[in-house]
Amino acid sequence: MALSDFGSAARNEAGIAAILPILKERFGDIFHASAAMRETHAHTTTYIPSQIPDGVLFARSTADVQEAVRICATHRVPLIPFGTGSSLEGHVNAPAGGISIDTSSMNRVLAVNAQDLDCTVEPGVTREALNTYLRDTGLFFPIDPGANASLGGMAATRASGTNAVRYGTMRENVIALEAVMADGEVVRTAQRARKSSAGYDLTRLLIGSEGTLGIITGLTLKLQGIPEAISGGVCPFPSVEAACDAVILTIQSGIPVARIELVNALQMRALKTYSKLDYPETPCLFLEFHGSPASVAEQAERFGEIAEEFGGGPFLWTVDAEERAKLWKARHDAYWASLTLRPGAKGLSTDVCVPISRLAECIRETEADIEQAGLIAPIVGHVGDGNFHTLVLIDTDDPSDILKAENFVARLNERALRMDGTCTGEHGIGQGKMKFLEAELGHGVAVMRAVKHALDPLNIMNPGKILLPRGV
């Protein structure tokens, strides 16, 4: 149980009672109100307590979503969009009850335009399903947040991951969205052209809006050519500072690194036991380079030289896919290895992001903070973007343990803000970070409120996320 109050807005009991039979009658088998189904649509992947919706609709089409929105709007009942449930900040919770709109049945790839390097998909298509579908085209969708999330959910949280340093985040990789707005109208935010100066950027307004402005029902996405060659490997460093200095020089040198991940000493120690491999117990960078065979070799060699300048190395790298997978195994095992550091504990994942010139300082202060607080919290980071995660291992049955973790997270977020960073690089605000958003953007939050009120005057679109209730 969490000590923080994540909000439980007043339920509109009369409205909820009114719509359940309407939805059942209208949608039949694709509408569920069983406790079991409702519970699986509020699970959160962190320690924020579940808040269960009153019903679950497995929408099959934009028209289904439209109709659900209109029914809910008439009775002022919340709608909570649901992709795969892998979000980390309570996005799919239903603090005021309402209907979970599960998009997993909207899982068709509608078009692949190979010449234009784009595709159009329904929101329930997962990133792995899309890349499987694209297998024979020579194209792929690069954004990789770790989980096999739905593309609708990834857009809603402005997700990114390990290769954002090269390919950008969802912000840069969505060309257009289709969404059902709070009034039940369907909006297509842009045409399929690569760029446009046609009015306000509704695409970017919806990306990262976490379902609070509209429900995404379609996406047109940029695709990338599968790189001809990939090189990758792992490189130890004497300190986090040395590793970060190498990252900065790598990026300044214009090496188009595809992935550059930091794993700190504590995480490496966990991995050593978990993966039964002979890793050094010092900070390591895991790297991947994409390009022509000549270019990926050149990039790896240049990085090796940079690492050496800062006392790092040896940089073990390869172009062989199998060998590369072995070298990267530690990075892939990081999450599971972390959990072995405190058996039975649950992980709370943070995701601050700072300018990379401040990254070493931010990680060093955070490591000291973790030690002083007596927490166990290994660190991995998408350091090319200045983004890193601590996985705080907590005993969710111990309120003092939760409090300790919550206080640490507050200090971490404040530290990032002080360094001109953000409290969330890629997970979103959800319920967990609402109070930090106010600290981060000041009057900007008032602007967000005005936009929210204009587009969702009844506050039925995923209420209780991003924006604290007024006056809190």
Give the footprint of its own copies on residues 232-261 (CB under 8 A).
248, 251-254
Q: Smallest distance from the beta carbon of 188 to its own copies, in angstroms? A: 7
Angle at 469 between CA 466 and CA 472, to 5 degrees: 110
User: How far apart are the C-alpha atoms of 185 and 205, rounded to whole Å?
Assistant: 16
> Which residues contact residue 383 at a Cβ distance below 8 angstroms, ignoring those fewer than 6 apart?
243, 244, 247, 260, 261, 262, 285, 356, 359
Q: Does 446 bind its own copies (CB under 8 A)?
A: yes
Q: Smallest distance from the beta carbon of 212 to its own copies, in angstroms? A: 8
Q: Which of residues 350-379 bind its own copies (CB under 8 A)?
A: 351, 353-357
Q: Does 345 bind its own copies (CB under 8 A)?
A: no
Q: Which of residues 168-197 bind its own copies (CB under 8 A)?
A: 168-169, 171-172, 181, 185-197
Q: Smallest distance from the beta carbon of 431 to its own copies, in angstroms? A: 13
**Span interacting with its own copies, options 59-67, 198-206, 260-268, 303-311, rule CB under 8 A:** 198-206
Name which of 22 and 251 has its Cβ closer to its own copies. 251
Q: Does 301 bind its own copies (CB under 8 A)?
A: no
Binding mask 258-297 for its own copies (x = CB under 8 A): ---------------------------------xx-xx--
Q: Smallest distance from the beta carbon of 166 to its own copies, in angstroms? A: 11
**Span interacting with its own copies, options 44-52, 328-336, 371-379, 415-423, rule CB under 8 A:** 415-423
Name which of 294 and 368 has its Cβ closer to its own copies. 294
Q: Smallest distance from the beta carbon of 160 to its own copies, in angstroms? A: 6
Q: According to CB under 8 A, which one of 34, 61, 113, 148 is a site residue for its own copies?
A: 113
> Which letter, b or e, does each residue of 451-470 get, where b requires 16 or more Cβ atoms within 10 Å of its Cβ?
ebeebbebbbbbbbbbbbee
User: How far apart are the C-alpha atoms of 148 and 455, rounded to whole Å?
Assistant: 30
Continuous segment of H or E residues that includes residue 140 = strand 139-140
CA quadruple 165, 156, 363, 148: dihedral, nearest 10: -70
Q: According to CB under 8 A, which one of 13, 228, 301, 371 is a site residue for its own copies?
A: 228
User: How far apart are the C-alpha atoms of 84 and 87, rounded to whole Å?
Assistant: 8
Continuous segment of H or E residues that includes residue 426 = none
Q: Smallest distance from the beta carbon of 252 to its own copies, in angstroms? A: 6
Q: According to CB under 8 A, which one of 14, 63, 110, 114 is a site residue for its own copies?
A: 114
Token readout for 445 is 């939050």
Q: How many residues does the chain have?
A: 472
User: How far apart are the C-alpha atoms of 24 and 32, rounded to whole Å?
Assistant: 8
Q: Does 440 bind its own copies (CB under 8 A)?
A: yes
Q: According to CB under 8 A, which one of 160, 350, 390, 431 is a site residue for its own copies?
A: 160
Name which of 132 and 252 has its Cβ closer to its own copies. 252
> Which letter, b or e, does each residue of 207-235 get, where b requires 16 or more Cβ atoms within 10 Å of its Cβ?
bbbbbbbbbbbbbbbbbbeebeebbbbbb
Closest CA to 151 of 96, 103, 209: 103
> Which letter, b or e, does each residue of 66-82 get, where b requires 16 or more Cβ atoms within 10 Å of its Cβ?
bbbbebbbebbbbbbbb
For tokens 């990680």, the residue is 363
Q: Smallest distance from the beta carbon of 237 to its own copies, in angstroms? A: 17
Q: Does 201 bind its own copies (CB under 8 A)?
A: yes
